[in-house]
Chain A
């Protein structure tokens, strides 16, 4: 049986790993390759790199650090941020990324998802979704890497999840913005509802603060992976211990 995936997320700015709280006040967390290697050695199942400056600044992702990561790291990784076309995606994949993740550019032009799936296959195409609670609905936010210039695309999260699957998305990373950075647990209710709409793998993002939060999201929301940043970067949660503990609770994890 396929194992659930524990996925450290590394926000990248100017070639360094950074982390903010609720997407603001970014702190330097170290060199990309050193961080990636450390997570690989700790049995992280996959890595996600978000180039948080690429989308807001309307520039394409820098591939130099992707090549450095690909040369060193023998687990899969995806790259998000600044992928706006088949050409920019090709540069990222040729630099060694296993998957490309699109968020704001897909909202601006949904056909991009279909173009990427046609060019590289759905298995390479991840759609990242930033979702925020709006009374009883869930709404999207775009350009979330730059809080001062965030955009409300006036779209419902549910309809977008259905649309991107039809367009050929191979995986969805659902970042629940209300929970992000505050470490009080994943947004189980939202993830449960959105999981039910998805046939492709879905990765939970936003809110991890304790090992119990991972257990809850796997047991209750049935997601395929859980993404977290701060708790791993700070070593508050050690991935080998987390995976062993999850296994003791009956969750299939890779050792």
Chain B
């Protein structure tokens, strides 16, 4: 197994590498197209703004590389949002692998933004990522923008429902941070690496 973690310029990409280390899996942080194409599994993490991350991917010549990957790909947090067609954060075109637009959670009375903390999922359909997980398990979220829940594999709620886990063929993604979600997060990463 060779796991490539894409360096999209975010602040805390090392956390994913360390989470993989803890489950005994070597990975490398890279923005080299060939290293990414060769990897058995690709992780697209990301903390920060959509426009900046898309600019970094474009500068590294990775847009078409990512769209054409055939191996399992896991987007995390911003990495989920980048799989959609467009994000209202910076009003930027994203990878367009999954239809839909990422939008800001609406400001409503009493709703704290960012959505920061541990929340639960509603699984809408079966998915290999869910194998062995307690359906009531908690995951750690930090975000203000959300993808539409319509086609999601799992949703979560903060003021409104949003996509917590999505899948399109070999591309899967989660809005929460499995690398920071204790035992359930570790299980989800193991599930990703086992197919």
Contact = CB atoms under 8 A, between A and B. Distances in A.
Interface of A: 1-5, 40, 43, 45, 70-72, 74-76, 90, 93-98, 120-124, 170-171, 199-201, 224-225, 254-255
Q: Is the interface of B mostly helix, strand, loop or mixed?
A: mixed
15 contacts: A5-B118, A45-B117, A45-B118, A74-B185, A75-B182, A96-B12, A96-B14, A98-B180, A123-B142, A171-B114, A199-B112, A199-B113, A200-B112, A200-B113, A255-B138
Interface stretch (B16-24, B64-72, B92-100): B16-24
B15 A124 contact: no
A200 B177 CA distance: 20
Interface in B112-160: 112-120, 138, 140-144, 157-158
Contacts of B141: 2
B179 A123 contact: no
B159 to A, nearest CB: 10
Interface residues of B, number: 36
Nearest to B111: A199
Contacts of A95: 14
A40 B118 CA distance: 14
Contact of B47 (A90, A121, A171, A254): A121
B181 interface: yes
Contacts of B113: 199-200
A3 B118 contact: yes
Contact of B114 (A3, A97, A123, A225): A123
A71 B23 CA distance: 11
A151 to B, nearest CB: 30
Contacts of B116: 2, 123, 170-171, 201, 224
B186 interface: yes
A200 B117 CA distance: 12
Given A74-B179, A76-B140, A98 B114 contact: no
A75 B15 CA distance: 10
Given A70-B14, A96-B15, A255-B138, 7 more contacts: A1-B157, A75-B180, A121-B47, A122-B144, A170-B116, A199-B107, A199-B112
Nearest to A77: B180
